[in-house]
Structure 1
Amino acid sequence: MSQRTYNEMWAGAQLELSQLLIEELSAEPPRPEKDRVVFFQRLAVLYVRYIQIFRQLEKVYDQVVHPQKRRVIRAILDGVMGRVVELKNEMVEKEFSEYHYMDDVLHDLKLTPRDLEIPIPRYFSSELNKELQEQKMMLADILKMMEVTGSPEPLVTKDMSQEEAIKIIQVMERARQGRLRAKLNEESWNMNRMYRIKGSGKVGTELAALCIQKVWRGYVQRKRTKIARDEEMIFLGMAVDPKHQVPCPAEITAQAIEACTWIKQEEHEEDYQKSIVTLTNQLRNVEGHDMSKTMKDQIRQWFIECRDATGSFPDYPDEEDGGSALIFAVKSPQQLIEEIAAKEEEDTNNKPKGKEEKKEKGNDVEEEEAGLMMLPSAFLSDLEVGSKTFVDFWKTRNESKNFNQRHEIELIKEEKRKIIEEEIRKQVDEQMRQELAEWKLTVDKDKGGKTKGNAKKKKGSKSGKKKKKEKDLTADRALESLFQELVEQGLLKKANNVRLQDYLGDYSYLGTTLRQNDIEPMPSLADVRQVVSLYAVLPLGSQVVHEKAPLIKAILLAGPAGVGKKMLVHAICHETGANLFDLSPLTTAGKYPGKSGLAMMLHMVFKVARLLQPSVIWIEDAEKMFYKKVPKEEKELDPKRLKKDLPKSLKMIKGEDRVLIIGTTKDPLSADIKSLCKMYSKIILIPRPDYGSRYILWKELIEKRSGEVTKALDLSCLAKISDGYTPGHMVQVIQSVVTKDRILKQATRPLTADEFVGPLAKIDPVFQEEEEALKSWYAKTPLGKKRIKAATGKDGEEAPVKGKDAKKKGKK
């Protein structure tokens, strides 16, 4: 598509966004909603509409080549992503569930389940910094060095007795003789057949001709029937035309145009950066002197006006308050003096009053308003600024002369002129403060003590509690050496090349129906993929989203073995370019012994993770860290050694640190649930796949293995009989059936469902009892308890009040 098309798409997304902003930022806030279902419906509509804007802006940002437009789109895109994450968090708090089913909303908005998919912005991986790319190269080089320098395993020679050697020779000789005998038998059978054919007369020849005709005519008719049936199915729209299965020339051309567009983006960005440097220097050299002179004249005029109005020279505004920027505001000298005095009073009286005011406000809100209200957003103000920028600059801008979509010089000058003015203003402030002090000494000698008093006030205001700095145990070591040590110890690993789209699964079509009948449905794998992208991929990929959205430090993926927990961890790292640290109990066993060694290991991991962010710290078998009772065979490994220190390290992660801890567990029942829930703020339950997901998994996995899915292969039957089996089981079965030899024989003997039944029957599935045990365990988590209370008619938010009442009754 052309750049004009993407500009129109951007305008359409901005129009929809402006309508949403008008609804959310209306002058009259909506009244508290008492009905939880109605409130959730309102949230769900907003959520779906923001996702549609998100999908459009992601396409636009990926293909627009204008560097200045891309910066505006990027800011709006980050704001929309953050708002989607906020709405998701709010839906979880109001519905008490990580998974939501919005079939009715999709039906009303005339959308498909695919439109609800969260897209992963392509700039997460394409716009990786040079530093991140160097880190990846350094990791690959260290791993190669470890492979080369690693000592090869010595060849083990097994002693063999004379009897065993004779037995092996006898077996080989008998096999050779058997092959020779079979070859002689085949040759004799062929000779006898030739003699029989030669001895037959005219009658035998006619019979042979009839036989050949019969076989040939049957073959031709079956082929015609098959062609006619296929044409009929294509005509009815029940089958895909083979010519559409192969990429058409238009698709190939579109892909080539996209690749050219990415190259243009890089070229235009380089030109834009060069222009910024040259224009900044030009403005500083040409206009800098005039700016400085104008500012000084205005400030001197302000000194004189204040002297005439108040009888004394004013105090120069502090740099923290804005310096001379306050002077240039359209205000009288008296107003400025009053403002400065009012700010000083607020600074002195702000701390003790803050807590009392908050308490009073909180009590008023609780007393006056009862019901559900939307939480304040940290992204709506940014979206409003971005929308205003679009309307002011880009909506009606004439770009007929900018066919190649290069940067615009005037916009660069406007932006850089403000920055240069700020730089010059700071220099002018220093000079004018000295000049004002000289004026006061010469004219107002008796009032010179005020500046000293102000200085003392400043010193007093700075006094406060000093924050304790974290001790750096590796201050004398370079980052490269820490990086290399973690790789050599196996604590820093290379993530597999897996995308989140490879985590296959279908949409849950019965979720709304089951909830209407008071049945809590198990989520589908597509729901799991969506939750992971919202909680992990978007915050790790965007610094703005991570800082302003609700902070999630740790996620626990719980589910049976083979549902793809490990794959999701690697997919998160691949999509965001994050480094993968492994603090699993089996990995850390025997490394860095003792308390000092444990402290050093955690310090190194978290230090490198924060310096080389984004980072993912993976804990496989997370339940072992919080065992109720450690098994005898695992006591030597000491799996609980990180139980106390890891939560302390987790507290050090702040909003600006794009570091995420991900735990995976297949047996959460063996862990202490309270300790586990304190560690992981989000617990995502991954079930065994449903029928729709199993159907997609069989089809995609067989085709990925180079198998052909024909009509002879009944996928529906396979999906039905594989109920209870995980994607890992399916991969194992497909690898055993679709071998290299079987792939070569597909042309004459297509794959059938019977071939997969035998290997599938040898594997134990995830039984219903195991899934019910996981569901009952999840019901004991904080969110699960709230969900049960809401389902039984008790509001989850009233739980704390009831707890207090219960304590009072207990005391009586």
Structure 2
Amino acid sequence: MSFDLNHKYWVSTSKEIGQLLKKQNRLKTIEPPENKAISFKIFSELYVLYVELVNKLSFIYFNTFQVQKRAVVRTLVENATQQLMLLKEELKEMELSEYIYLDKVLIARKLTPRDLMIWRSPQFLYRRPLDIQNILSNNKLYMNDQEKEETDAKDWSKVTEAVELIQAHERARQARVYKSNIKYDKKKYLEVKQRKKVTYRFTFKPNQAMSIPVKRTLFTADFIKTDESCKDLRDKNENREESNDETEMERINVLRDNAARIIQSWWRAYKTKKIYKIKKQFKREMLGIRKTRRLKRPNRFANSVLEMYKNEQKRRKLDEDFEKLIMDERTRLLQMRSPWMMEDISDHIRAWFEEFYNKTGNFHAYPDPVKKGTVLVVIDETMTPIEFQETLNKKPMSKEEKKKLRAKIKAEKKKLRDKIKLRKMKEAKRRLKLKAAGIIDVGFILSDSKPIEKIEATMKQFSIDWRNVDEYLNKNHDPIKSWVTEEQLDIIHHELRELVDEYMRVEYELLRKALATDQNVPYKPQKVKKPKKKKGKKKKKPVDPTGDRTLSSLYNELKDEGVIEVVSHKDFDEFISDFNFTADDTRDEDNLTTLGPAKGDIKMVIQESMLGMSEFDISKPKSILLVGPLNSGKKLLCNIISSELDAVFINLSPEKVYKHADDMNMFLHIVMKVAREFQPTVLYIEEAHRVFFKKVPADQKEISPKLLAPFITKKILKPIKKTDKIVLLGTSSMPWAAKPQLKKAFQKIVLIPKCDYGTSFLLWLELMTENATNDLENYTYSALARVLQAYNSGDITNNIANTLNVERKMHLKSEALNPREFLEYFLTELDPPLFPPELKMMEKFSKWFGKSNKFAKMRHAIMAIKEAKQKKK
């Protein structure tokens, strides 16, 4: 992305931020809307605006290289994303659902539900330290000499093995050739073998002119010089009587010419037809007559992965230069200006002594280090000479008076605290009453938002700091040196003032001692209150049983045992699904949606949970459970999450865990240590209900599926901190077979809905056109989607892959594809036949999910109250 475009983009985005802040400030002053639909509309409009803002700011952040400006943009994008999550939580509570539908706002802004997706991989990836990345990628770029030698030795051993394998195959091939030649014609082969070989060495050098001119053969012969058709040439009788050798050669030449003519005729006809077909398709598409029925996937973010890494290297170089500039500037200031700064500080303190002595005949108490020392003198937070004189004229307070004064101050502080607490309680009660009446206090929610306050403060400070800076002239992304100088001067001043205070305190005590001698008053040195060092509770560091082992050995141990798996790269576009476009139009009298989510809505929930795994500080769930029938796409979603995060995939399914039953504590210690060091990390449990089985089936007893259950909370979830990029990911196709602990172990539970018509249509369209684009241009996708809609997406994918195999695609032109073939695959080719999931099964999933999701519980409670009122009527 060019510098000019990024600059213009930032200018327009900063204006939009200003307009958004003005809009929010107006909304802060409004009265709580009595109609809940108005509150929903306000929050939905703000949510869409923040989605656009986060997308723009994230793009600007990853294309901004100036270090000081990048810090400003980072603060904005982080707080904008936090506010976005807060708005989404408010909308979820209004919808009483994990899914929100904002069709009216999207239509007004000419957007689609796909535009609400804010995950942008690979820009949001969390970067690992270089030493950790070296272990994962075996990259030599950041290795030391010893590590490079070890890696090169391993690589050379692999090359040696490959060469030996190639040599073995070549010797075997030569042996087979020798055997077949001996078998075919032993005498002739041995004569050839006995001929002397002439060794020749090729000595050509690049850009060397040829000493002997070489004549090049030009293949421009044209054998088509007749009006005879291909059919006439095939029917023509070529069996002529042989007269002599010359006529025989002529006949053979004629046959060769005819053969070449036929080949050229067919090739030219094929080429002409192909060019004509391409031109015809282009013309029809240009005129709008023909449109290719193919799902157009949206383009990913403009920057490629390679460009992203180049930008990262550039940013790292600029960061290093900026740190070097700070150190150089700090060194220069310490060398050039520190003696004069210390002299200025001491002169200022002496002038302060003199001022008080001349006006009051005494010295002001020297500020204690606990109160930042003589910094109080600079910022005028000490007493004036007049105020100090009044304190001298007052009689010293007795112990009882001091005690009463302290008690009075304490009572006033307590009164103020109680007053604030009472005001907050009244405010909370007021909002609870409004919420019970279905009224949302929009103004209070926006006023109480800390991310909005930080965005306002950042933009205000930016307008002050950058008002005299022309960013357009700084195309080399150089840091502003004057700011660095000012910042380092401030830091050095505070450091030197602490040092000067220690020396000036000695001078202050000498002056006080001399004054006491002159006044014949006993001298008492002033007590110095130094800041107390925070004595944190000394926690015993847990003993690390693997402290003597390297991270590389722990990682390789888990990888060799198959616990760490390498997953194939997938992205969200490969989870083919459609959104629910009718839910917003089917709201009831309480403004709640009556239709459940479509399969595409799952992406919104998953991406929302993944935002916290980026480099920004955003809340995220520690554990996610994907619930749904078999072949509904649960494993694919887990694969997508791991790929999009570039995460280490650790499989903790019962099949992997039961091998470590003898020492589970040690095994889980290694797993969590690797997960924390190599984050982002995905801890995966396949069919997680097995870990919490109510009754273990006989065929599962061998792998002890419940072995991990006692350790999940204490050993896995509890050690995960808010800042850790670790998530426990589970799938389940029979959640009702597990105990209630399954719901407690997973913070977020997502139910994958049954396949809808839109998703089914997109599946058939995308997968069939990928297999045979031109041959299935106009096909009955809609009919297939309607008839086979109830089947899961995995079943449809397997059907297309098996029905449209290579052999069947070869016969598509001669034998058209019959839709009955897809139905026959389900009913006849599979044993037993495959039928769609029963309606009772999906109801069972919905019933279990309704008891585990908080929004589903709230909705059921409201519907129960509503039904009870209707029964009374």
Question: Shared topology, TM-score over 0.5?
Answer: yes
Distance 1:794 1:415 in 2: 65
Contact preservation (8 Å) 2:803, 2:822: yes
Distance 2:558 2:291 in 1: 54
1:167 counterpart residue number: none
The answer as to 2:581 corresponding to 1:509 is yes
C-alpha spacing 1:607/1:232, structure 2 compared with 1 (3 Å): closer
2:320 counterpart residue number: 273
Distance 2:762 2:350 in 1: 76
The answer as to 2:757 corresponding to 1:691 is yes
Deviation of residue 137 (structure 1)?
Answer: 1.6
Deviation of residue 414 (structure 1)?
Answer: 0.5
1:738 aligned residue (804, 822, 832): 804
Contact preservation (8 Å) 1:58, 1:121: no
Distance 2:695 2:866 in 1: 35
1:558 counterpart residue number: 627
The answer as to 2:700 corresponding to 1:628 is no
Offset from partner CA, 1:5-55 (integer Å, 9 cap, x none) = 332222222222222223335695544455443323222111111011122
Instruction: Please tell me the residue identity of whatever aligns with 2:623.
Output: A
Deviation of residue 447 (structure 1)?
Answer: 4.2
Deviation of residue 666 (structure 1)?
Answer: 1.4
More deviation in 637-646 or 59-68?
59-68
Deviation of residue 424 (structure 1)?
Answer: 5.2
Distance 2:552 2:87 in 1: 40
More deviation in 526-535 or 308-317?
308-317
1:367 aligned residue (401, 421, 429): 429
Distance 1:361 1:442 in 2: 51
* TM superposition score normalised by structure 1: 0.74
Aligned length: 700
1:662 counterpart residue number: 729
Deviation of residue 235 (structure 1)?
Answer: 3.0
C-alpha spacing 1:727/1:357, structure 2 compared with 1 (3 Å): farther
The answer as to 2:616 corresponding to 1:543 is yes
1:137 counterpart residue number: 137
Distance 1:20 1:246 in 2: 31
C-alpha spacing 1:2/1:666, structure 2 compared with 1 (3 Å): same
Offset from partner CA, 1:260-288 (integer Å, 9 cap, x none) = 79746744652563254145314531455
Contact preservation (8 Å) 1:128, 1:577: no
1:210 counterpart residue number: none
Alignment of 1:70-89 (within 5 A): 70-89=70-89
More deviation in 749-758 or 784-793?
749-758
The answer as to 2:830 corresponding to 1:759 is no
2:452 aligned residue (376, 380, 383): 380
2:563 counterpart residue number: 491
Deviation of residue 429 (structure 1)?
Answer: 1.0
2:862 aligned residue (790, 801, 812): 790
2:841 aligned residue (764, 770, 775): 770
Offset from partner CA, 1:208-267 (integer Å, 9 cap, x none) = xxxxxxxxxxxx99x99999899667534662599x9999xxx9xx97999779746744
Contact preservation (8 Å) 1:556, 1:665: yes
SS in 1 for 2:682: strand
Instruction: Please tell me the residue identity of whatever aligns with 1:19.
Output: Q
Distance 1:470 1:778 in 2: 39
1:779 counterpart residue number: 850
C-alpha spacing 1:611/1:294, structure 2 compared with 1 (3 Å): farther
1:605 counterpart residue number: 671
Contact preservation (8 Å) 2:7, 2:472: no
Instruction: Please tell me the residue identity of whatever aligns with 2:560.
Output: E
1:181 counterpart residue number: none
Distance 2:668 2:408 in 1: 43
Offset from partner CA, 1:102-148 (integer Å, 9 cap, x none) = 1112123332333222241532349665345324225999xx99xx9
Instruction: Please tell me the residue identity of whatever aligns with 2:601.
Output: D
C-alpha spacing 1:245/1:52, structure 2 compared with 1 (3 Å): closer
Contact preservation (8 Å) 2:342, 2:500: no
SS in 2 for 1:628: coil
SS in 2 for 1:569: helix
SS in 2 for 1:124: coil
Contact preservation (8 Å) 2:799, 2:826: yes
Contact preservation (8 Å) 1:562, 1:726: yes
2:607 counterpart residue number: 533
Contact preservation (8 Å) 1:279, 1:413: no
Distance 2:287 2:114 in 1: 26
C-alpha spacing 1:258/1:436, structure 2 compared with 1 (3 Å): same
Distance 1:544 1:256 in 2: 23
The answer as to 2:476 corresponding to 1:406 is yes
Give 5+ residue unaligned stretches, structure 2: 141-150, 159-233, 240-271, 392-401, 435-439, 514-521, 868-873
Deviation of residue 688 (structure 1)?
Answer: 2.4
2:789 counterpart residue number: 723
Larger Rg: 2
SS in 1 for 2:594: coil
Distance 1:139 1:734 in 2: 40
SS in 1 for 2:660: coil
The answer as to 2:747 corresponding to 1:681 is yes
Instruction: Please tell me the residue identity of whatever aligns with 1:364.
Output: K
Distance 2:408 2:524 in 1: 24
Instruction: Please tell me the residue identity of whatever aligns with 1:771.
Output: M
C-alpha spacing 1:771/1:270, structure 2 compared with 1 (3 Å): same
Contact preservation (8 Å) 2:62, 2:123: yes
Instruction: Please tell me the residue identity of whatever aligns with 1:89.
Output: E
Distance 1:333 1:723 in 2: 82
Instruction: Please tell me the residue identity of whatever aligns with 1:17.
Output: I
The answer as to 2:734 corresponding to 1:672 is no
C-alpha spacing 1:605/1:314, structure 2 compared with 1 (3 Å): farther
Distance 1:35 1:680 in 2: 36
Contact preservation (8 Å) 1:557, 1:686: yes
Deviation of residue 588 (structure 1)?
Answer: 0.8
SS in 2 for 1:616: strand
CA RMSD of superposed structures (Å) = 4.7
Deviation of residue 418 (structure 1)?
Answer: 1.1
Identity percentage over the alignment?
25
Contact preservation (8 Å) 2:285, 2:291: yes
More deviation in 291-300 or 224-233?
224-233
Contact preservation (8 Å) 2:577, 2:763: yes
Contact preservation (8 Å) 2:126, 2:613: no
Instruction: Please tell me the residue identity of whatever aligns with 1:657.
Output: D
SS in 2 for 1:618: strand
C-alpha spacing 1:277/1:194, structure 2 compared with 1 (3 Å): closer
Distance 2:642 2:12 in 1: 33
Deviation of residue 647 (structure 1)?
Answer: 1.2
Deviation of residue 384 (structure 1)?
Answer: 2.2
Deviation of residue 653 (structure 1)?
Answer: 2.5
Deviation of residue 591 (structure 1)?
Answer: 0.9
Deviation of residue 194 (structure 1)?
Answer: 8.8
Distance 2:767 2:525 in 1: 83
Contact preservation (8 Å) 2:101, 2:583: yes
More deviation in 285-294 or 617-626?
285-294
Distance 1:566 1:575 in 2: 14
Contact preservation (8 Å) 1:80, 1:383: yes
The answer as to 2:509 corresponding to 1:440 is yes
Offset from partner CA, 1:64-121 (integer Å, 9 cap, x none) = 5555444433332222222222222232234321111111121233323332222415
2:595 aligned residue (521, 525, 539): 521
Offset from partner CA, 1:344-381 (integer Å, 9 cap, x none) = 99999999999977864553223344323427434223
Offset from partner CA, 1:571-622 (integer Å, 9 cap, x none) = 22222233222222222113142xxx22223333223322333222222212
2:379 counterpart residue number: 329
The answer as to 2:554 corresponding to 1:482 is yes
Distance 2:407 2:331 in 1: 39
Give 5+ residue unaligned stretches, structure 1: 149-192, 199-219, 796-812
